Amino acid sequence: MINKLIEKIQKTQAPIVVGLDPMLKYVPEYIQKKAYAEFGETLEGAAEAIWQYNKGIVDAVYDLIPAVKPQVAMYEQFGIPGMIAFKKTCDYCQEKGLVVIGDIKRGDIGSTSEAYAIGHLGKAKVGANPIAGFSEDFVTVNPYLGSDGVKPFIKVCQEEKKGIFVLVKTSNPSSGEFQDRVVDGRPLYELVGEKVAEWGSECMGDSYSYVGAVVGATYPEQGKILRKIMPKTFILVPGYGAQGGKGADLVHFFNEDGLGAIINSSRGIIAAYQQEAYASYGETGYADASRAAVIAMKEDIAQALANR
């Protein structure tokens, strides 16, 4: 799957992933109204609204980008109907040829991590039938529990030719509270990065490992160091746009080959129509506004890479 992701990045010339993190406040009113008219102001209504909203965006941008990253929390908050919308979104994106990175940040001890891995990347054995519950191509994984929380994901990835991105240095303001604490003279995130490189070294695609890392765009200096510590690791970079990361901050996340990183933007793309720059699209043009925002983001990154 890492090979497919790289191939698609090269084809689209866009190391970009669109975060499908639908909050109801982003969903145009006319879409919400229609959904509530059909399903009431219920979880089903909310799930229908975010699904229709997602579909509009995906239809508008799928030819420009290699991948999407649905954030499962935004669906899970609407209970079972929300989880159905999550699955529907993942399946639809795969039909459109997109690589789907499930931003699930799961992580637990051995057999429990295995269950998560099976649920999201693999197949559960029911009687004689192997069946996929959800089926993303990659998922994000939390490393706090150590190797035996991560390795079950790797095992399923090997079997299913899928991949993971392990949290190393997250994009949020308080990520340093534990991740930056100094251990043996170096911050904890470097040790986690080393582990990711170690786990990944036995999981190589053609040029990069299918054990990737998450490093926030909001920490470019740390990204520069982690790029060196994990040369064969693909880095998923959240925090561009709404969270404050800019194209120029991102160049050091990439290797000399122009690969090695994929930049996520969520709100900046999916709620572009709510920004001043794209306000002229209006509510009904929200999907076209997203398309314009993808094109602008692509240019911003290409320019930054050209100028480095």
Nearer to its own copies, 44 or 60 (CB): 44
Whole-angstrom distance, CA of residue 10 vs CA of residue 5 = 9
For residue 308, the minimal CB distance to its own copies (Å) is 28
Whole-angstrom distance, CA of residue 274 vs CA of residue 281 = 9
Whole-angstrom distance, CA of residue 80 vs CA of residue 82 = 5
Nearer to its own copies, 243 or 255 (CB): 243
Nearer to its own copies, 144 or 295 (CB): 144
Q: To the nearest 10°, the Cα dihedral for 279, 282, 286, 292? A: -40
3-state SS of 149-180 is HHHHHHHHHHHHCCEEEEEEECCCHHHHHHHC
Q: Residues 8, 160, 161, 191: which binds its own copies (CB under 8 A)?
A: 191
For residue 15, the minimal CB distance to its own copies (Å) is 22
C-beta separation of 42 from 79 below 8 A: no
Does residue 195 touch its own copies according to CB under 8 A?
yes
Does residue 176 touch its own copies according to CB under 8 A?
yes
Q: CB under 8 A: which stretch of 75-83, 91-99, 199-207, 226-234 binds its own copies?
A: 75-83
Does residue 71 touch its own copies according to CB under 8 A?
yes
Q: Residues 54, 89, 171, 255: which binds its own copies (CB under 8 A)?
A: 171
Q: Residues 111, 206, 221, 306: which binds its own copies (CB under 8 A)?
A: 111
Whole-angstrom distance, CA of residue 9 vs CA of residue 27 = 28
Q: Rg of the chain over CA atoms, in angstroms?
A: 19
Binding to its own copies, residues 240-269 (CB under 8 A): none
Does residue 113 touch its own copies according to CB under 8 A?
yes
Does residue 274 touch its own copies according to CB under 8 A?
no
Q: CB under 8 A: which stretch of 81-89, 224-232, 244-252, 285-293 binds its own copies?
A: 81-89
Nearer to its own copies, 69 or 298 (CB): 69
Assign 70 to helix, strand or coil. strand
Q: CB under 8 A: which stretch of 56-64, 157-165, 173-181, 277-285 binds its own copies?
A: 173-181
Nearer to its own copies, 96 or 105 (CB): 105
Query: Cα 297 to the chain's mean position, in Å?
Result: 16
Binding to its own copies, residues 20-59 (CB under 8 A): 21, 23-24, 32, 36, 41-43, 45-46
Nearer to its own copies, 177 or 221 (CB): 177
Within the chain, how many helices (H) and strands (E) appear?
13, 12
For residue 19, the minimal CB distance to its own copies (Å) is 10
For residue 277, the minimal CB distance to its own copies (Å) is 22
Residue 13 tokens read as 């010339």
Binding to its own copies, residues 114-153 (CB under 8 A): 115-116, 118-120, 124-129, 131-134, 142-149
Catalytic residue numbers? 105
Assign 244 to helix, strand or coil. coil
Whole-angstrom distance, CA of residue 68 vs CA of residue 244 = 20
Does residue 200 touch its own copies according to CB under 8 A?
no
